[in-house]
Amino acid sequence: MTIPPIDVTQFGSGNQPVRAPKQAMDGEMFMHLLVTQLANQDPSSPMDTNDMIAQTTQLASMEKLNMLSSTQDVSLAIQQRTAVSALLGQQVSSGGKEPITGIVTAVSFAGVDPVVTVDGKQIPYSQIASIGAVSKDTEPPEDTGEKPLETEPDPETSQA
């Protein structure tokens, strides 16, 4: 009687998903390494507590640096939005093969990077080469027919 060979898939281990290795060091990976190190240490010469404290301190420092990096990314995005918004009504010139010069009429934050609209053409914020004041020979904005708001004189400042 012949016995068939044992196939690995009979025991379910062949259907396990392939796990992609982590490409970044994080707190979870550090803790896994620390637990593995403690579990496999030689009982006759255990790990020095100073080394363990140093490693834990390094983990805390790494996590704080990651948090600081995230905070700086958010701060940069806010500063960039503020700077791009300030370009509305300003004359800009883009770099590149076909430079575009004109007044910024719109700003969009829909994509990853902000985009300004100049003469109906969209220009990424990173391609703006120069910013200048609007020259006098450009057309003024359209008159909407609305009168400016009139304010009443302040009685304290109008007394003579």
DSSP string, 93-123: EE-SSS--EEEEEEEE-SSSS-EEEETTEEE
What pairing do the DSSP bridges indicate for beta strands 115-118 and 91-94?
unpaired
How much is the pTM? Answer: 0.50
Q: Where are the domains of the chain?
A: 28-34+49-85, 87-132
CA distance 34 to 30: 6
Locate all alpha helices (DSSP H) within 7-153, ordered by sequence.
Answer: 27-39, 49-85
pLDDT tens-digit series, residues 27-69: 777 778 878 887 888 778 777 888 878 888 888 888 899 899 9
What are the C-alpha distances in Å from 144 to residues 41, 120, 140? 80, 21, 12
87-132 belongs to CATH 2.30.30: yes
